[in-house]
Chains A and B, each alone.
Chain A
């Protein structure tokens, strides 16, 4: 029977949660790297026992850890993230030029085919790549250099490149998202990029329909529908059916369309999940009730999923990297909260239970399905 391994990054360490295919009884390992901020862990699709982890602290900076045995042991690899050439400036919160400064790695996306190749999304927003298992990293400068980079401004959480989506059907095609620059696409393995934000409307920026400047929180894609992407923007849930050339809002009957996460059921490409958050000034669920919303129509029509989730006095947040799905049938859905809970649904969202209740604030959740 297949197994599921859930990789959890928190404010104070990493945890690995494992279960068999029933996904009822979980083994919890950790903390790994206790006391460090673990922004993201992700396993290689080509070798699931190869796991990369972003480890950082305000004191000691950025490290990258690598495991070759499914998280049993770890070794630090290269952690030199130097911007290509003269770093230049982006815009600061007040609109003045601000030097590009590396702060941390938000996201690690291993190649779909090569365990030694990994893409890293960093703050201040840039894309790096390793082809030697993390020993050395080189910037893909075409992203910052494509033209709009000097005008990018950080969101409240920083100028972070947090989402990287690789397209199995179109090798070389990469989607990324930056807070608060927007979404971008490369068709040549990161050499060149174009903004893909047509159709996004953000009323809080000077030009609500600008080419860049939108606070995209997360993008998700089903591998069988590579032309279709779903987006949770700061406000609004959107979809595109033409690889990002145009987007349309599908918030429909959501009680609030602010939120951070979005993901797609691994068996049903038009079944998607979000966790509505009351507002950008409150950052907790509506009415103290934690509810996942599911659309089986690719958006517009949503249903609340609450069986097993807190029904009152719940004021946690679910951050942008903190939802994942496994590849089982029925699809398992997982999400972590700033309150330290990791919830699992082994039945596509019908029912939920907490695997763990009291971890540090969860920053990221990834799910691996193992033979």
Chain B
């Protein structure tokens, strides 16, 4: 079981409260996690990564285990504590000011 923390706007969009849990096992990568998340919650397609290039959106960041994983390869296996569900994988809207 993998736990995912979503920013407030995406929780509203996905119509979930609190963390999302995905029943994934084994050596899961960020790409596989996002594939499963979008499969479970189609409304999130395009909000975290581009639907054509699959690039992470610029103002979206990935964190886990107090580390910024945003620039890791999407095919890198997630940290063990994320895989075993003891820590969530955080999807964060960057604190970027704006109007």
Interface residues of chain A, those whose CB is within 8 Å of chain B, are 11, 35-36, 57-63, 76, 79-80, 82
Contacts and interface: CB of A to CB of B under 8 A. Distances in A.
A80 B51 contact: yes
Interface stretch (B21-29, B39-47, B72-80, B81-89): B39-47
A63 B50 CA distance: 12
Interface of B: 7, 9-10, 13, 42-43, 45-48, 50-52, 57, 59-60, 93-94, 96, 98-99
A57 B46 contact: no
B98 A58 contact: yes
Nearest to A11: B99
A60 B51 contact: no
B52 A82 contact: yes
Contacts, number: 44
Nearest to A36: B9
The SS class assigned to the A binding surface is loop
Given A36-B9, A80-B52, A60 B99 contact: no
A101 to B, nearest CB: 10
B36 to A, nearest CB: 19
A123 to B, nearest CB: 16
Given A58-B96, A58-B98, A61-B47, A76 B57 contact: no
B51 A82 contact: yes
Contacts of B57: 59-61
A60 B10 contact: yes
Contacts of A82: 51-52
Of B42, B43, B46, B96, chain A has the most CB atoms within 10 Å of the CB of B46
Of B7, B42, B51, B59, chain A has the most CB atoms within 10 Å of the CB of B51
A80 B46 contact: yes
A76 B13 contact: yes
Of B13, B50, B93, chain A has the most CB atoms within 10 Å of the CB of B13
Contacts of B42: 76
A60 B9 contact: yes
B50 to A, nearest CB: 8
B87 to A, nearest CB: 23
Contacts of B99: 11
A35 B46 contact: no
Contacts of A61: 46-47, 50, 57
16 contacts: A35-B9, A36-B9, A58-B98, A59-B7, A59-B94, A60-B10, A60-B13, A60-B48, A60-B57, A61-B46, A61-B50, A63-B46, A79-B46, A80-B51, A80-B52, A82-B51
Query: Which 3 A-B pairs give the minimum distances between C-beta atoms?
Result: A60-B47, A59-B59, A76-B43
A318 B13 CA distance: 30
Given A11-B99, A82-B51, 16 more contacts: A57-B9, A59-B7, A59-B93, A59-B94, A60-B9, A60-B47, A60-B93, A61-B57, A63-B43, A63-B47, A79-B46, A79-B51, A80-B45, A80-B46, A80-B51, A80-B52
